[in-house]
Structure 1
């Protein structure tokens, strides 16, 4: 990272030409504090964007440059068509071969769509994006391509960034929970070459809340004046995002005097703060459970599978041919083409064994976020907001947040839950009218398959900024003075004592079994307010909040461990698939386990795999789920049922076999098992899988270790006193992706020790912690 000494701050100016002396179009002051956090001050949006682009490039130039290759559909040209674009490459959560990824992004980011999206932006947003691109390019020019980090030094694929590249990136983010989940299904769809039998849908293809399949999740708790030590609001935010690639967060502080003063973290390419705080309020986001996408089942013409009946007449699917450049392996390229097919509802997909394009039926995917280009405008309005009321208005009226809820607290002691995201406008009545009988069971599994007819198009509302989405005043909103929370379940139990009910299932479902993190979050708050968590008092403050949210308790252990300890008494070997498994040793480890995913805990890997097995057989619970008591059910094991006990024992045996296959030794403490691989050495990581632990960490087995791929990312804890925000933060994977940077693992080492950084916000606090300062202009 390029630095200037603090003593040179007053006179230091980086200028490109004599035009700067006249009137620089782009100008920003960048002050770095501890752990490389940039505080960027400018007179206008162009300057803020310029400063963010420059600072971000200092830390992550190669990662963002490579993402431009991805969103432009050029990975096959530079990196090979048959290479898997997965969690260990810069592009993060696009799990597809480069060939399929390229075709998808050529479709998503067609020039006409990108240009239309650019025209939709406000003048402020345009200035922010133009400034960002200019700042990024300025850093590359100043540094020189031969002096960039090794990952992109003199790379043929690195080029100047444009504002339209950033629009493509924003469209990629908007699609992350929709069409981007189905890249292979969209790219490989083609008319059947012969008649074949249509299979009924059998799986929840559009389910986006499984942490093993979907790497985006989060927790947040907002506490109001009735729950805090000083009667002011407190926010705890903990998104769970990838630790590699473009969806890493980046900490920053943005100031335009008299207009914005906001600090927090953002995803790559955003010239605004996505999660953060201001003088008067703090907010975080949680990945929501609402639905921005549905399927449409098209009844095909008996003689032509590219024609369908729309309820009134026969219509033809629209064919579009797109091309990509593919490396020929000899320094040149060749072109490949592929056809995309679409109905009036959206592109046709093909999921083998689930939603197949047959001679009689095809399936179109409609994703509301395909048309949502309002994300930057929404977040910038949030950054400018002067109060939590203005924050709520921004999310509710611009309605450009694609797939997350907003949870906020303010200095007056208010807590807000706002489920204000883009949601397909499909009422409960339409679900009954437009979902054929064979698809009705899938509604509970969160897959919506509407009949492909005109009468079943998403409903329009004059109050919504986009056709076919739910207007903001019909989305879940809850204000409280005790608490609101969310951990990726629906809005139903944002506050357990004031359930939000009566919504279409696409907006917020109810009366269903809650995930362990939701139950744990509510219990954390209830135990604190009732003085039952073993800590002094019964209010939250900034010292006890991390103790109760960051203690790595495993929820399933809380509701099952005593019963499982009983099962472990005098156990005999268990036979699984004709193989006898000795479970006595594992039982000894499990009984001694302390019920947490702490680094020094022994037994968590075994418990995790055992609990995973038990979730497959919910009939073993002694107390089943009860919608009238959703926080405390299900729980317990049926000790009086021999079949259930045997099923539990078989689950333990399978867990042992799974760990043996992964070469994981469950006798070791977690610090020796779960690590993040970084140049210079692996770092132990505490926490457990998100379906069970508030500090959600998701690893993959690699070489006898659990290698962390995503999970707890930007931790933020913000309270308020008479002078404004009092904030602590932690970026689990650190600011920079460059191994040569001093900020490559510095916060990761803090995370290992559960230490937080105090976030300097005022001018005085920034000066006291400043490590470097520079002015850039052109």
Structure 2
């Protein structure tokens, strides 16, 4: 079904410019210097300081384009010139076309209007030079983006991302800016309601308006890079007609459940089977070459929103970084520079609370000795229905704590640290540019990461782990795992804990730290672990995951590791749950059955050739579809029944129960051939290499798990190895569509980057 254009986004806020600092990735190929003839790309900037208005008025350095009319003022000519006049005209035309929303808009009709040739021509003319940037693609298609300023680099990075996978960028952005329902229908309505309930757009624009000119220039470059791509590719079917600088700031974390109540009028229906990661840092005392080493291994979506996108960045303002972005974002999420490396794992650190309101009327509530009035308003959300969109009115309420949720006769208000989370990308940039442990800790002190742990290693031999980031200070006399009394002033937050007040480990005597979405109390071994008694009880809510237990097993298995040994361990597929679960399975089934004998002789490693791995994983999955949420079934009768059903199903579908795991656990991109056999399993089974997905015709095609695997020695001449799931490009015609898949499936890093296959500037 063809995708459609929908109403244009309103204008943003003011122009920006300069400043920043930091060195180069030790492991990537040196980037050749820019030639003197480097082209400058000028894009008419979108203002980032002006106050958002309900109309689609765009203000451009003396150029004013109203959403309904365009008045050509004589004074425009000397200050703006033809290109800016055309840019303003194009924006006003697009805005005017969408100025009056209709109750029902045909997607086909909206899509047809986008293809007017004049709009594409004018946009292409308008989007002309002001960024000094060069993109070089290496033999894996990874962009090495070099620019004079940080903003130049961001401009080139976003253009490169759009070249590789614009559709995913737009899909992610639609959710970020509160328009998911236009894309997903009812399935996106909850997200859009939360976006409006927390007033994300208003807060993001306000935060950008307070930013310095350097960051405003980066935000502008983000929008300009994507807009240039759309102008150069008018054939692209797009719902977002123009990207605005505030868009990427709006990507705050909005959990669907806080302390037992839903944060939106309707519960979220999609529950991820696997959201997690692994991260290790090994000290020089535990490596044979005396270098600190970081293992980075995020477990997220393999494709689509949330997917990892590799890049190498270098600016004349000291930004040099090699790592990955979350596709659609302009600043790397994790990776390394010339001095240090870090990665993240998700955490359940308690950064949100639910307040039970004491109502004294339909729309009034009490806090202490004050009676306050709920703020009430109505939002109109466009919701996709088959081939058109319909306007849906949603009534919203808000207290001083946040949006209001009414459940079973009770009234709750949900508080999230959104204003602090809006500093996320400011903090990420500071982390990218940090040159040592002191500077990195200063960046972490911004406390904007919300639901992330951080694992770190550097060229001076330091290793470290920090738990969480954004945890409010609370009165410890309350039970914060449940909704608290909103009428009691003592439940008010008292600022936020600093990173030093949260669990952390720096340079432990054991020589390693690890985290796999687990609690921080067993980050390492020995006395250097944080102690629960030293922290408020409300801070930590994570379990000790089986992957964390497996990591400690691995990292304590020998006194020192070579880089090559760590490279193999990064793809380890021993299922740690077999240590306890396999004996229970064997005790419950008929030990004389040949399948039971195969299981009894199994070493617990999920290789592609392993038949017992198929029997074990399929039986456990049949028992508990999502063990990460509810644990594994313990009843012997249920275990025996599940095992027998697994054997029967394998025999029915494949003609034998002797099915190698690689036959039913496979990697493919989209729904096309080829496919590859893959080791490993759902992360809940405790393997380091995680890979899982829904069963289709008896075969699990991976959708979540090891999205990126990297091992790096920070510093000069340090080694760096990495592999992504399939390839850099989402275009099936690209040579980089699945060129990394064979290495990933084999549990190996891809060959190192050597040379460049293409050098160009955005728009060329």
Is the Cα–Cα contact under 8 Å of residues 725 and 741 in structure 2 kept in the other structure? Answer: yes
Counterpart position of 1:165: 247
Aligned with residue 377 of structure 1, among 418, 426, 431 = 426
Counterpart position of 1:389: 438
CA distance in 2, matches of 1:739, 1:772: 19
CA distance in 2, matches of 1:369, 1:698: 32
- Is residue 483 of structure 1 aligned with residue 512 of structure 2? yes
- SS of equivalent to 1:259: coil
Counterpart position of 1:358: 408
Q: Report the CA distance between 1:81 and its aligned residue.
A: 2.5
Query: Cα RMSD between the aligned structures?
Result: 3.7
- SS of equivalent to 2:642: helix
Aligned with residue 599 of structure 2, among 590, 609, 625 = 590
Q: Report the CA distance between 1:306 and its aligned residue.
A: 4.3
- Is residue 248 of structure 1 aligned with residue 307 of structure 2? yes
Q: Residues 111 and 560 (structure 1 numbering): CA distance in 2 closer, same or farther, change over 3 Å?
A: closer
Q: Residues 544 and 215 (structure 1 numbering): CA distance in 2 closer, same or farther, change over 3 Å?
A: same
Counterpart position of 2:367: 310
Q: Deviations over 1:406-459 (max 9, x none)?
A: 10111222111122511232353343xxx6xxxxxxx4xxxx322222424343
- Is residue 129 of structure 1 aligned with residue 219 of structure 2? yes
CA distance in 2, matches of 1:567, 1:99: 46
Aligned with residue 732 of structure 2, among 732, 739, 742 = 739
Aligned with residue 397 of structure 2, among 341, 344, 365 = 341
Q: Deviations over 1:485-525 (max 9, x none)?
A: 1011121111121221221233235xx96221110011110
Q: Report the CA distance between 1:671 and its aligned residue.
A: 1.3
1:182-201 equivalent positions in 2, closer than 5 A: 186-188=264-266
Q: Structure 1 stretch 607-616 or stretch 316-325: which is displaced more?
A: 607-616
Counterpart position of 1:603: 612
- Is residue 654 of structure 1 aligned with residue 642 of structure 2? yes
Counterpart position of 1:81: 185
Is the Cα–Cα contact under 8 Å of residues 100 and 184 in structure 1 kept in the other structure? Answer: no
Aligned with residue 546 of structure 2, among 516, 524, 529 = 516
Counterpart position of 2:558: 528
1:522-601 equivalent positions in 2, closer than 5 A: 522-529=552-559, 539-561=560-582, 564-565=585-586, 568=589, 570=591, 584=593, 586-601=595-610
Q: Report the CA distance between 1:689 and its aligned residue.
A: 1.3
Q: Residues 569 and 329 (structure 1 numbering): CA distance in 2 closer, same or farther, change over 3 Å?
A: closer
CA distance in 2, matches of 1:661, 1:158: 46
- Gapped regions of structure 2 (runs ≥ 5): 1-31, 44-80, 84-124
Q: Deviations over 1:352-376 (max 9, x none)?
A: xxxxx233x2222212236521111
Is the Cα–Cα contact under 8 Å of residues 724 and 740 in structure 2 kept in the other structure? Answer: yes
Q: Report the CA distance between 1:381 and its aligned residue.
A: 0.5
Counterpart position of 1:44: 149
TM-score (norm 2): 0.76
CA distance in 2, matches of 1:405, 1:415: 14
- SS of equivalent to 1:773: strand
Counterpart position of 1:421: 469
Q: Residues 709 and 306 (structure 1 numbering): CA distance in 2 closer, same or farther, change over 3 Å?
A: farther
CA distance in 1, matches of 2:729, 2:223: 19
Counterpart position of 1:471: 498
Q: Report the CA distance between 1:212 and its aligned residue.
A: 6.9
TM-score (norm 1): 0.74
CA distance in 1, matches of 2:383, 2:724: 37
CA distance in 2, matches of 1:113, 1:188: 24
Aligned with residue 452 of structure 2, among 388, 398, 404 = 404
Q: Report the CA distance between 1:305 and its aligned residue.
A: 5.3
Counterpart position of 1:575: none
- SS of equivalent to 2:605: coil
Q: Structure 1 stretch 319-328 or stretch 242-251: which is displaced more?
A: 319-328
Counterpart position of 1:3: none
Is the Cα–Cα contact under 8 Å of residues 121 and 374 in structure 1 kept in the other structure? Answer: no
Q: Deviations over 1:533-558 (max 9, x none)?
A: xxxxxx12220002223120000213
Count of residue correspondences: 638
Q: Structure 1 stretch 370-379 or stretch 41-50: which is displaced more?
A: 370-379
Q: Residues 212 and 670 (structure 1 numbering): CA distance in 2 closer, same or farther, change over 3 Å?
A: farther
- Is residue 690 of structure 1 aligned with residue 711 of structure 2? no
- SS of equivalent to 1:103: helix
Counterpart position of 1:261: 320
- Gapped regions of structure 1 (runs ≥ 5): 1-5, 83-96, 147-152, 190-204, 206-210, 351-356, 436-442, 462-468, 530-538, 572-583, 619-633, 638-643, 761-767
Counterpart position of 1:493: 522
- SS of equivalent to 1:603: helix
Is the Cα–Cα contact under 8 Å of residues 137 and 161 in structure 1 kept in the other structure? Answer: yes
Q: Deviations over 1:152-204 (max 9, x none)?
A: x3x25142222122223x33xx33x4679999751349xxxxxxxxxxxxxxx
Q: Residues 609 and 403 (structure 1 numbering): CA distance in 2 closer, same or farther, change over 3 Å?
A: same
Is the Cα–Cα contact under 8 Å of residues 29 and 773 in structure 1 kept in the other structure? Answer: yes
CA distance in 2, matches of 1:660, 1:388: 57
- Is residue 507 of structure 1 aligned with residue 539 of structure 2? yes
CA distance in 2, matches of 1:659, 1:14: 65
Q: Residues 377 and 605 (structure 1 numbering): CA distance in 2 closer, same or farther, change over 3 Å?
A: same
CA distance in 1, matches of 2:430, 2:210: 15
- Is residue 719 of structure 1 aligned with residue 719 of structure 2? no
Is the Cα–Cα contact under 8 Å of residues 27 and 50 in structure 1 kept in the other structure? Answer: no
- SS of equivalent to 2:298: strand
Q: Residues 118 and 339 (structure 1 numbering): CA distance in 2 closer, same or farther, change over 3 Å?
A: same
CA distance in 1, matches of 2:473, 2:323: 32
Q: Deviations over 1:363-405 (max 9, x none)?
A: 2221223652111111111111111221122112x11212111
- Is residue 145 of structure 1 aligned with residue 234 of structure 2? yes
Is the Cα–Cα contact under 8 Å of residues 718 and 728 in structure 1 kept in the other structure? Answer: yes
CA distance in 2, matches of 1:755, 1:615: 31
- SS of equivalent to 2:328: coil
Is the Cα–Cα contact under 8 Å of residues 588 and 639 in structure 2 kept in the other structure? Answer: no
CA distance in 1, matches of 2:624, 2:180: 39
Q: Residues 122 and 292 (structure 1 numbering): CA distance in 2 closer, same or farther, change over 3 Å?
A: farther
1:33-112 equivalent positions in 2, closer than 5 A: 33-77=138-182, 79=183, 81-82=185-186, 97-112=187-202
CA distance in 2, matches of 1:255, 1:129: 17
- SS of equivalent to 1:757: coil
Q: Residues 178 and 600 (structure 1 numbering): CA distance in 2 closer, same or farther, change over 3 Å?
A: same
Counterpart position of 1:239: 298
Is the Cα–Cα contact under 8 Å of residues 197 and 398 in structure 2 kept in the other structure? Answer: no
Is the Cα–Cα contact under 8 Å of residues 178 and 367 in structure 1 kept in the other structure? Answer: no
- Is residue 453 of structure 1 aligned with residue 518 of structure 2? no
- SS of equivalent to 1:735: coil
Q: Residues 101 and 615 (structure 1 numbering): CA distance in 2 closer, same or farther, change over 3 Å?
A: closer
Q: Deviations over 1:565-592 (max 9, x none)?
A: 4655647xxxxxxxxxxxx454244224
Q: Report the CA distance between 1:247 and its aligned residue.
A: 0.6
